[in-house]
Amino acid sequence: MNSEYVDVDTKFIDEIIKHGGKDVKKCMQCAECSVVCPLSPDNNPFPRKEMIWAQWGLKDTLLKDPDIWLCHNCADCSKDCPRNAKPGSVLNAVREIAIEENSWPRFVAKGFGEKKYLPLFILFPVLFIALLIYGLGLKMPADGTIYFSNFIPYIYIDVIGTTIGVIIALIALFSLWRFWKSLTVTQKNKMNFFSALILVLKDIIAHSWFKKCETNHIRYYAHLFTFYGFIFLLVATATAAFEIHFLGVQHSLIGGPANIIGNVGAVVILTGIIIVIYNHVSNKVPKENTYFDWLFIFLLFFTAITGVTMEILRLDGSVFAYWTYLVHLTLIFMLIAYAPYSKFAHLIYRSIAMVYTRSIGRVPAI
Ligand code: SF4
Ligand code: SF4
């Protein structure tokens, strides 16, 4: 940017509006939002400065700004804005655009953020799984005790799942590396990466930043339950893999450790998602709910629901358990394969930005 002129990028302003930041033009720069924000540092606070950058269409400045990630969309600022603007939603829109811009390949990220391409993003895993079943000559059992490995042997799940996971992890790492480079371009670090990472992990474990929000405090519980439910489900998956590969268990056991941990995880994550949905539909909090948010909520919700349904049908001895298993696998595929472009990415980008801001001593004023 030239020091005397501002090149207004009107396309970027349109993009912000498209991503839910429709109030960007309402701001009159009173700075009330920066005063009330519970997460803003004293020095050079947000979100007033981001609001003016957004009005000016300063895309590069905003995308490199770590402060957009410190905002947890609590809406404390929206409640007090004299123009009824929602700065948290504007920053959320900028974050969605930042994920698109840093992701690789970028066209996948852009497509994933658009409702009209959703059928394609569903069709891909459906065709992938259908072709695998056909190609490997797998047959869905028509009767007998329900064991999912009688339909798709664990070895296929392991090999294919690990391959997809490694590819996606490499793509995500490349995108995050680009993001990290864009953040660190201007400032020198005061603390080394690992010390900052430990502090951020403590913040995440306690959800201490969400706790500071007042207007949208219910979000603290929504995130807490969803986060820990997800951790439980990861532990359940690892335990099931241990049972099968190291203890020689042929079929996942009802009532076994993996099953119990998985059931607890399902209850906890569903509780979190239900609070999230309630918070979104109750309209008690002045914030925009975007397609990007809803897509992730529904993916998590239906993954958990199909997981529970599979177990009930299995106990009942119904062969519909196998069909539910296929839907469950499709949803898991979508969660993993599209993670670098979804709200999952949002969580990782935010964590990385928090490591960076910790490393330069940029933390909330209170
Ligand atoms: S409180 Fe509202 S009008 Fe004032 S600077 Fe913030 S967004 Fe703009
Ligand atoms: S939404 Fe909350 S965290 Fe974000 S800028 Fe407003 S007050 Fe701060």
Q: Rounded distance, CA 96 to CA 227, Å? A: 20
Helix, strand or coil for residue 172? helix
Side-chain-facing half-sphere of 199: CA atoms under 13 Å:
18
* Ligand having the closest approach to the CA of 77: 2
Find the 45 Cα to ligand 1 centroid distance in Å. Answer: 13
| CA-proximal residue: ligand 2, atom 4 (nearest) | 71
Any long-range contacts for 135-141 (C-beta under 8 Å, 24+ apart)? 140/319, 140/322, 140/323, 141/319, 141/322
So what's the pLDDT on residue 4?
Answer: 63
| CA-proximal residue: ligand 1, atom 6 (nearest) | 33
16, 22, 209: which is closest to 96 by C-alpha? 16
So what's the pLDDT on residue 196?
Answer: 93
* Ligand having the closest approach to the CA of 54: 1
Which atom of ligand 1 is nearest to 23's Cα?
A: 7
SS3 content of the chain, % helix, strand, coil (to 5): 70, 0, 30
Best of 27, 35, 37, 213 for a ligand 2 pocket test (most atoms within 8 Å of beta carbon)? 37
Ligand 2 binding pocket includes 51 (Cβ within 6 Å): no
Sign for the CA dihedral angle at 209, 214, 216, 221 comes to positive
240, 206, 226: which is closest to 335 by C-alpha? 226
Find the 40 Cα to ligand 2 centroid distance in Å. Answer: 8
Residue 165 tokens read as: 């996971």
Find the 84 Cα to ligand 1 centroid distance in Å. Answer: 8
C-alpha dihedral, 121 to 126 to 127 to 129, nearest 10°? 130
Residues 6 or more apart in contact with residue 275 via CB below 8 angstroms: 218, 221, 222, 225
| CA-proximal residue: ligand 2, atom 8 (nearest) | 37
Fill in the DSSP letter of residue 46. Answer: T
| pLDDT tens per residue across span 141-193 | 988 889 898 999 989 999 999 999 999 999 999 999 999 999 876 666 778 88
Whole-structure pTM value: 0.90
Helix, strand or coil for residue 362? coil
Find the 182 Cα to ligand 2 centroid distance in Å. Answer: 23
| CA-proximal residue: ligand 1, atom 8 (nearest) | 27
Residue 357 tokens read as: 């801001």
| CA-proximal residue: ligand 1, atom 2 (nearest) | 81
Task: Using 50 as the pLDDT threshold, list the residues of the chain that sit under it.
Answer: 1
Ligand 2 binding pocket includes 272 (Cβ within 6 Å): no
Residues with beta carbon inside 6 Å of ligand 1? 27-33, 48, 51, 81-83, 85, 87
Identity of residue 23: D
The owner of tokens 């002129």 is: 5
Residues 6 or more apart in contact with residue 21 via CB below 8 angstroms: 54, 86, 89, 90, 91, 92, 93, 94, 288
* Ligand having the closest approach to the CA of 33: 1
User: With contact defined as beta carbons under 8 Å apart, do 72 and 22 qualify?
Assistant: no
Which atom of ligand 2 is nearest to 47's Cα?
A: 5
Ligand 2 binding pocket includes 285 (Cβ within 6 Å): no
Find the 87 Cα to ligand 1 centroid distance in Å. Answer: 7
Find the 85 Cα to ligand 2 centroid distance in Å. Answer: 12
Fill in the DSSP letter of residue 168. Answer: H
Ligand 2 binding pocket includes 73 (Cβ within 6 Å): yes
